[in-house]
Amino acid sequence: MFGITGFVHFQVIHRTHSWLKLKRFNKTQKLMVGLYAAAMAHIFEAGLYAIAFLVGSGSGLGGFKPSDNSLMETFYFSLVNYTSLGLGDIYPTGHLRFLAGIESLNGFLLISCSASLIFILMTETDESREQSKPKSQNA
């Protein structure tokens, strides 16, 4: 899961940034596209972990307490865990605790990557404005 979600996240972030460099959006529009692309990637990745938790639970590696192990409960746990929030109202048992630790580490790493994209989008110069500015004359 660590590698799969890392690959997915890289593809989304890299492709979004490459695509935005080709577009003539203003800085705010680029930032909004970057924010939504990162958010969708994170939600998808937490969903992948939720599926892994369900597969692990179905394989007898553990479960969740107190929970009915439904898809929505598992996705909720995964999203809370991925963000390292860890509310503790639902918690894994058995060997699923190890996967939960990996997910939390992975989520922290990937959220940091998204923060880097957002920082880049906020600090990049607007090329269309830079090209329209008159060049300073050295006398």
- CATH of residue 65's domain is 1.10.287.70
In a domain, 86, yes or no: yes
Average pLDDT of every residue of the chain: 90
Structural domains of the chain, count: 1
pLDDT in tens, 73-120: 999 999 999 998 888 899 999 999 999 999 999 999 999 999 999 999
SS in 3 state form for 58-93?
HCCCCCEECCCCCHHHHHHHHHHHHCCCCCCCCEEC
In a domain, 96, yes or no: yes
Does position 40 have pLDDT exceeding 80, yes or no?
Answer: yes
pLDDT at residue 133 in the model: 56
CA distance 31 to 67: 38
Does position 132 have pLDDT exceeding 90, yes or no?
Answer: no
**Confidence band, pLDDT 50/70/90 cuts, at residue 69:** confident
